[in-house]
C-alpha cells in the first residue's frame, strides 16, 4: 500500500510531539529543539535553538522576525527548507 502524504500525515508528527508557536497572526505546532554546542576547544557551551515547522505555516519568516515558542519570545536567525520543501528548519535566538 502506498503512503499518501497530505496535510493530515504531515501534521501527525507535529501534533504528537510539537509545541505551540506564534508569529504575527499565525499559530501552529512546531518541533522545538535546543541542543548544546561545545565551542572554542571545550571552553564554551552554547545552546542552538531550532524549530522544525511546515513551510506552509512559517516558510515566509525572515531574519529578525519575532516568534513565540511555548510562551517564550525568540528572534529568527535563519530559515532553511528541508528535503522536499514541505518542512523547514528555523534557527532562532532568545530575544
Q: Mean pLDDT throughout 37-43?
A: 84
Cβ neighbors of 77 (< 8 A, separation 6 or more) are 63, 91, 92, 93
Q: How confident is the model at residue 40 (pLDDT cuts 50, 70, 90)?
A: confident
Distance CA 2, CA 12 (A): 17
What's phi and psi for 51, nearest 5 deg? -120, 145
**Contact of 66 with 75, CB cutoff 8 Å:** yes
On average, the pLDDT of the chain sits at 91
For residues 47-51, average pLDDT:
92
pTM: 0.85
Q: Which tops the pLDDT comparison, 36 or 65?
A: 65
4 or 83, greater pLDDT: 83
pLDDT digits 0-9 by tens, 71-83? 999 999 999 999 8
Amino acid at each position: 500500500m502506498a503512503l499518501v502524504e497530505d496535510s493530515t500525515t504531515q501534521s501527525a508528527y507535529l501534533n504528537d510531539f510539537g509545541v505551540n508557536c506564534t508569529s504575527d497572526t499565525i499559530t501552529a505546532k512546531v518541533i522545538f529543539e535546543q541542543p548544546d554546542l561545545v565551542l572554542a576547544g571545550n571552553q564554551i557551551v552554547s545552546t542552538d535553538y531550532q524549530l522544525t515547522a511546515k513551510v506552509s505555516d512559517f516558510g515566509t519568516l525572515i531574519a529578525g522576525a519575532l516568534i513565540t515558542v511555548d510562551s517564550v519570545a525568540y528572534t529568527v536567525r535563519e530559515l532553511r527548507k528541508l528535503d522536499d520543501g514541505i518542512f523547514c528548519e528555523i534557527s532562532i535566538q532568545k530575544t
